[in-house]
Amino acid sequence: MSNIAWKISVALLGGLCGSGLHAADIRSTAPALKCTATPFPAIPTGEDGYGIFGVAELLVSFAEGRVTQAEAIVGRAELIDAAKAALDGYRCDKAAAPLKVPMTFEFINPWAKKTLAFPLHDSRTSLAASNSIIRRYFPTRFDAIHEVATAEAVGYAPPRPQSVVRPEIDAAAARLGGDWTVEYQFIVEADGVVTDVAAKPVVPGQAHPLVVRLGAAALRKSKFDPATYKGKPIPIAMVHLMTLKLD
């Protein structure tokens, strides 16, 4: 017998705004860029040995699948250097048109108490949380970044599940036994379809790859009524917590 517990929500994380937007729209006009590698920046350390946290914003140029230039806009030198080092490892669609776009990297202290820039039920809190997820897990989905600074406090409505598909537990997964909890980050597109999916074990290193794949496959088959802002469908990043008990 397999029991599955689900929890879906928009994560309440910190976030900053993007740019390159229509004046009357909160969505970025920059296109998405398909990539096979988008490494996380490493957290730099200061002379005292402690991590350096904050935000680094760069103007990044892509051509022939690589980053060709990264110019600092805002941020400490250590954070800018860490972001540039990560960008050197990006491998993207070689056939894509050259692109120049601002990118924001958030170096978040995991031990620090999270504070919200806006009230809990403010539309901008959800939009900022979505931006944070996208920047960390899907950094070249520029088209899904929202301009928080121009958004209003009221107007956002979250996605609503139409059909959330449960993982199909095959014989190989059933033989694993045990309890598995995986946190998924994913994007619900403006048409309600789930596309990009990333996974993070709740306990680092303790999630069998097979279980992770089954959960991701189920999410991609799920369907939502899309999120809206001022009545207009928009893409949004979400968090899904799956606990799978294989008896």
Angle at CA 17, nearest 5°, toward 14 and 19?
160
Alpha-carbon torsion (60, 66, 69, 70), positive or negative: positive
The whole-number pLDDT of residue 12 equals 35
Angle at CA 22, nearest 5°, toward 17 and 28?
45
Tokens representing 188?
């619900």
Q: In what order do the strands lie in the sheet with 66-74?
A: 66-74, 54-63, 99-107
The whole-number pLDDT of residue 9 equals 44
Residues 6+ apart with CB under 8 A from 201: 181, 182, 183, 207, 212
pLDDT in tens, 61-106: 999 999 999 999 999 999 999 999 999 999 999 999 999 999 999 9
The whole-number pLDDT of residue 125 equals 94
Where do the structural domains in the chain lie, given as residue ranges? 2-246
The whole-number pLDDT of residue 120 equals 85
Tokens representing 179?
């309890």
The whole-number pLDDT of residue 211 equals 84
Mode of pairing for the β-strands spanning 66-74 and 54-63 = antiparallel
The whole-number pLDDT of residue 17 equals 31
Amino acid at 235: P
The whole-number pLDDT of residue 205 equals 62
The whole-number pLDDT of residue 247 equals 67
**Which residues of the chain fall short of a pLDDT of 70?**
1-24, 204-206, 247
The span from the CA of 197 to the CA of 182, in Å, is 12
